[in-house]
Amino acid sequence: MRLISTLLLLLLISLAYSSATPTRRSRKSTRIHKPCKTLVFYFHDIIYNGHNSKNATAAIVGAPAWGNHTILANKNHFGNLVVFDDPITLDNNLHSHPIGRAQGFYIYDRKEIFTAWLGFSFVFNSTQHKGTINFAGADPLMNKTRDISVIGGTGDFFMTRGVATLSTDAFEGEVYFRLRAEINLYECW
């Protein structure tokens, strides 16, 4: 009987120990990761060009020495900083009911090719979603798909992390761009 109670005690200690053990997330994992959540949205960017102030959702607010704030600069727009507040829709129709806003900036950052750096948020306040998803990363626009990081979130997306795959779904001249974002979240709280 004494042995058995000792054993029982050990068992309890083992239980207590296991629930208190810290863990290394820093270990290289070889398995294929499955997202805990996948979302697909479209957002619609209309850059102000001097003639479309009513419809414009974005504006040039920084430019290199050889540029201005009404027309995207030459050298692949290198140095243009654009602020945006774009409607987010569930399908690819600009006129669909927006379920949120994509808000932030991009900055063209290469002379030889179109490429940009993005910092922005998806801001939701609808019946479907409340909260924000925050993004940052390089956007090499000429690639069919580009991966950027989901660096955090709030509300329904509290503390989330993941990867968003962007693709240019459509564009018209240098004024209208439609982006498709497939968001794969790998940390859901």
**Which member of 18, 127, 144, 173 binds its own copies (CB under 8 A)?**
18
Q: Which residues within the stretch 108-137 sit at the binding site for its own copies (CB under 8 A)?
A: 108-111, 115, 117, 119-121, 123, 131-132, 134, 136-137
Tell me how far apart the alpha carbons of residues 61 and 55 are, in angstroms, rounded to a whole number.
17
Q: Which of residues 58-117 bind its own copies (CB under 8 A)?
A: 59-65, 68-70, 78-81, 83-85, 101, 103-105, 107-111, 115, 117
For residues 88 and 122, give the distance between their C-alpha atoms in angstroms, rounded to a whole number: 8
CB of 45 to its own copies, least distance (A): 12
H or E element that contains 8 = helix 2-20
Please say which residue, 94 or 138, places its beta carbon nearer to its own copies.
138
Q: How many angstroms separate the CA atoms of 145 and 2, rounded?
A: 66
CB of 167 to its own copies, least distance (A): 14
CA dihedral 91, 97, 99, 101 (to 10 degrees): 90
**In whole angstroms, how close is the CB of 183 to its own copies at the nearest point?**
13
Query: Which is nearer to its own copies, 1 or 172 (by Cβ)?
Result: 1
State residue 56 phi and psi, 5-degree precision: -60, 140
Structure-token match 């950052």, residue found: 109
For its own copies, the closer CB: 96 or 149: 149
Q: What are the CA-CA distances from residue 58 to residues 47, 107, 151 (Å)?
A: 5, 12, 23
Size of the site for its own copies (CB under 8 A): 87
Site for its own copies in 134-173 (CB under 8 A): 134, 136-138, 140, 147-155, 158-159, 161-163
Q: Least distance in Å: CB of 64 to its own copies?
A: 4
> Footprint of its own copies on residues 30-59 (CB under 8 A)?
31, 33-37, 48, 50, 59
Q: In angstroms, give the least distance from the CB of 169 to its own copies.
A: 20
Token pair in block for residue 42 = 């479209």
Distance CA 33, CA 27 (A): 14
Q: What is the nearest approach in angstroms of its own copies to the Cβ of residue 129? A: 14
Residue 58 half-sphere exposure toward CB, CA atoms < 13 A: 29
